[in-house]
Every structure is written in C-alpha cells, then in structure tokens.
Amino acid sequence: MSSTTEIIHSVPVDPLTGSIAVPVYQTSTFVQEAPGVNKGYDYARSGNPTRKALEDIVTKLEGGHSAYAFATGLAAIDAVAKLLSTGDEIIAVDDIYGGAFRLFTHVYQKLGIKIHYVDTTDAGNILDYVNSNTKLIWIETPTNPTLKISDIQQIAHIAKSSNALLVVDNTFASPICQKPLSLGADLVIHSATKYLGGHSDLVAGLVVTKNEALSEKIKFIQNASGGILGPWDCFLVIRGIETITLRVQKQCETALAVAKFLQTHPAVDKVHYPGLSTHKNHQIAAKQQNGLFGGVLSFSLKQDESELAENFVSCCSYFQLAESLGGVKSLICQPSKMTHASVPRKKRLESGVQDSLIRLSCGIEEARDLIVDLENAFSTIENKKEVLV
Ligand SMILES: *Cc1c(COP(=O)(O)O)cnc(C)c1O
C-alpha cells in the first residue's frame, strides 16, 4: 500500500519555478520553436502539464503503467467501452453502477455489443457466459449500494484464460483500500468525484492501465474523443489526493463503528458492510482490501416501509441528504427513491435494494457524533410510528 509519505511526494515540485503546488496551466495551445518542435505539448486536448501531473500521481497510486484523466467517471467508463467493436461481448457485475448500465444498454448495445449481467460474487457464474467474443469482464467490488464483494484474483484468472480483459471500477474501495492491478486486473476505473477528489467539489474520472499496449489505446481514445479533464479540476483532484490516506483511514474506521452500532439496533434488519464478520464475503474483502473495508455502508429497517426510511434520511443533521459518496462530509440517501429510482421495483428487490434501504457515506466527522445523529433519527421515526398507530 502506498504510504502517506509516498503519496505526498508523488506530487511533483514545478521544475521551472520551484512552486511546491502543481501550477494550473490554463492554456489551449503551446508556442512551438519551429513547426513540430515543442516542449512535449502542442494542444491542450492532447496533453496538458497539470493533467499529466495528476495522471502520473494516480499511476503511482494504483501501481499502473499509465493513467488518463477524463471529465467524469462515466467518460472514463466510456473510453474503456470504446476499446470494443461490433460483435464483442462484455460480462458485467449485475449490481453495476446505474450510469454504466445506462451507457452499456442504451448506447453500446445499439452498436452491436452484447452485455451479460451476472452475479460475480460467485466467480463460477462468469464461466457460463464466456465465449470467444468475450472481450471485457467488468466488475465493481464492493458494489453499490449493498456492498457485495467479488474475488478479483479469481476473476483475473478467468479473464486471463479467456483472453478477456478484467476491468475493475475501484471507486468504492479507493486505491487506499484496494489495488486491483496488483491482483491481476488489466484496467482500473475511478470516479474521482468520490474518494480521489474527496471534497464533493468536482466531477472527474480516471482510467489506469496495466501495460504499454493498453496505455496507447486509451491515450488514443482520450485524444480522439476528447472527453478530458480541465486543468483546474486536475489541480483540485491532486490537492484531494494529498490527504487521501488520512481521510480514507478515518472514513473506514468510522464506517466500521457505525456498522457495529447499527447491527445492535432493534429497528434495523440487515447491515451491509464488508468489514462485519457476518458479511457473506468478509474473508475475501479482508484479503484483497488490506483490512480496510471502505467508508460506505447500507442498512434496511425491520419495518420495510419507504415512508419510514424517507423520514429517517430527512431528519439527520450531520448526514446530509444527497447522492454521491467519498467526501469529507457524511451523506445519507435512500437508493430506492434516489440513485436506484429508475430500476423496476421487482429487479431492485431481487438485488437486495429494499424500500427501506438506507445508504451512508461516512465523512471525517467524529464517529460518536455520527452515531448520535443516527440515534436521534431512530427516535424520531419511533415517535412517528406511534403517531401513525
Ligand atoms: C459515481 C460513480 C461512477 C460515475 O462517476 P461520475 O463521476 O459521476 O461520472 C462510476 N462508478 C461508480 C462506482 C460510481 O460510484
């Protein structure tokens, strides 16, 4: 795992001026000494020094060959999907991020790419769909919002023996908890909007590649399609990364404390958190996440009523009611009415997203303050229940 020291010192000092912060090169073009003779940059879509600094830092953070920064996490996902041609197939985790599902289903399927959604928590399920057209195996672990865990190493073996590439969306774990390339993945994706940025103040995405051949392809797509991240946002992501170790360690500790509190609460039905020994794939998470289980967890209420959950998420004071995750401020949401509102109810229930499921993203507040906030919310809905009766 990269140490705080390594991460901080992967941020370069500007060789031109000695500036300890990476300068924001807010420019569209670079003056040439003679036609075709330049200092490594000619046009800002093809390359920008601030973006290059971010890409190099994330390459080190994930232990990759190269990284490429995009305007959003979805633009990063789109760049990887563009590796495919008509007739190719993807095997993807059935709990995939909703935006990726929308992109695959409504854009890439139309172009003749077939997508099979399978429960990858049992790697054997993947084998049922592998054929000579399978080009990508696409997983998220932990998944959103029920924190299911898939075994990266085992799936990497399947990918290798099937001549497919393994793509891991590492947004939920962050590179502090999990390094998929070291476990055999070929490509890593981040929505830097979440833990890399870490302050809920931007949207950004990254693709990290394992080798030179993949790097050349993604670099080509980045320039050809042009969905790059602007220099100012690159600067902000770099600034976020400088404190990522401290933030994520704290967020993981807090999430575990909150999960343990919820597990003992009489109004709670299920708690989903890979750090609990009761989680189905706790052992795999412990192995591949270096003992850090992430800052996101979810839980359902014994009384599985949408209205109760709605009351709960609306009456917290530190947990702000909002989509997204990974920032310094704690967030709370009700997936069935927010992030997963467009998923048909039956399909939603099958994947464990009950009406009363509540997702928490722990920030860097003190765990005890967050627990008091939740205790207060439980009392409020308890009173509401009495009024209802
Ligand atoms: C948020 C998210 C994305 C999409 O990222 P944007 O920056 O919102 O485009 C992709 N994957 C996961 C797991 C996410 O949480």
pLDDT in tens, 31-88: 999 999 999 999 999 999 999 999 999 999 999 999 999 999 999 999 999 999 999 9
Using CA atoms, how far residue 15 sits from 11, 23, 364, in Å, is: 12, 11, 34
Atom index in ligand 1 nearest the CA of residue 77 equals 10
Retrieve residue 74's tokens: 């979805």
Best mutation site among 70, 74, 233, 338 for ligand 1, i.e. most ligand atoms within 8 A of its Cβ?
Answer: 74
**Digit-coded pLDDT (tens) for 82-96:** 999 999 999 999 999
pLDDT of residue 387: 60
Measure 217 CA to ligand 1 centroid, in angstroms: 22
What distance in angstroms lies between residue 73's CA and the mean position of ligand 1's atoms? 5
Rounded Cα distance between 227 and 55, Å, is 15
| Count of other CB atoms within 10 angstroms of residue 327 | 24
Domain with residues 3-241, CATH architecture: 3-Layer(aba) Sandwich (3.40)
Task: Choose among 123, 90, 124, 95: nearest CA to 108.
Answer: 90
Which residues are near ligand 1 (CB < 6 Å)? 72-74, 97, 99, 140, 144, 169, 171-172, 191, 193-194, 203, 205
Judge residue 282's burial from the number of C-beta atoms within 10 Å of its C-beta, 0-12 exposed, 13-18 middle, 19 or more buried: middle
CA of 204 to the centre of ligand 1 (A): 9
The residue to mutate among 78, 97, 139, having the most atoms of ligand 1 within 8 angstroms of its beta carbon, is: 97
CA geometry: angle 312, 318, 321, nearest 5 deg: 50
**Among protein residues, the one whose CA lies closest to atom 1 of ligand 1:** 191
Mean pLDDT of 280-299: 96
| CATH number, domain 248-388 | 3.90.1150.10
| pLDDT level of residue 289 (50, 70, 90 thresholds) | very high
The H or E element containing residue 361 is strand 358-361
What does the pLDDT read at residue 312?
97
pLDDT tens for 16-34 read 999 999 999 999 999 999 9
For ligand 1, what atom is nearest to the CA of residue 172? 13
Q: Say what the alpha-carbon torsion angle 265, 266, 270, 272 is, to the nearest 10 degrees.
A: 0
Residues of the chain with CATH 3.90.1150.10: 248-388
**Residue whose C-alpha is closest to residue 291's, from 341, 252, 236:** 252
Report the atom number in ligand 1 closest to the C-alpha of 192.
7
Residues 6+ apart with CB under 8 A from 275: 252, 255, 256, 259, 282, 285, 293, 294
Among protein residues, the one with the nearest Cα to ligand 1's atom 7 is 73
Q: Are 161 and 155 in contact (CB under 8 A)?
A: no
Residues of the chain with CATH 3.40.640.10: 3-241
Partners of 249 in the beta sheet? none
Interval between CA 295 and ligand 1 midpoint (Å): 15
Stated as kind and residue range, the H or E segment containing 89 is: strand 89-93
Instruction: Tell me if residue 97 is catalytic.
Output: yes
What phi and psi, each to the nearest 5 degrees, are found at residue 116?
-110, 125
Segment 368-374 shows an average pLDDT of 98
Looking at residue 1, its pLDDT comes to 45
- When pLDDT is cut at 50, 70 and 90, the band that residue 351 belongs to is confident
How many contiguous H segments (helices) and E segments (strands) does the chain have? 14, 12
If pLDDT is split at 50, 70 and 90, which confidence band does 388 have?
low
Ligand 1 atom nearest to 171, measured from its CA: 13
Residue 186's pLDDT is what? 98
What mean pLDDT do residues 334-353 have?
Answer: 90
**DSSP SS3 for 283:** helix
Is the pLDDT at 328 greater than 60, yes or no? yes
25, 68, 97, 129: which is the annotated catalytic residue?
Answer: 97
Q: How far is the CA of 194 from the centre of ligand 1 (A)?
A: 8
45 counts as catalytic: yes
Q: Whose CA is nearest to atom 5 of ligand 1?
A: 73
Which is the closest atom of ligand 1 to the Cα of 75? 9
Instruction: Determine the Cα–Cα distance for residues 96 and 335; give it in Å rounded to an integer.
Output: 14
- Asked if the model's pLDDT at residue 142 lies above 60, the reply is yes
Closest protein CA for atom 15 of ligand 1:
171
CA dihedral 366, 73, 148, 93 (to 10 degrees): 180
* Closest protein CA for atom 2 of ligand 1: 191
Q: Report the b/e string of 85-111 with b at 16+ CB within 10 A.
A: eeebbbbbbbbbbeebbebbeeebeee
Of residues 150, 368, 170, 378, the one with CA closest to residue 279 = 150
Torsional sign, CA 14, 15, 16, 17: positive
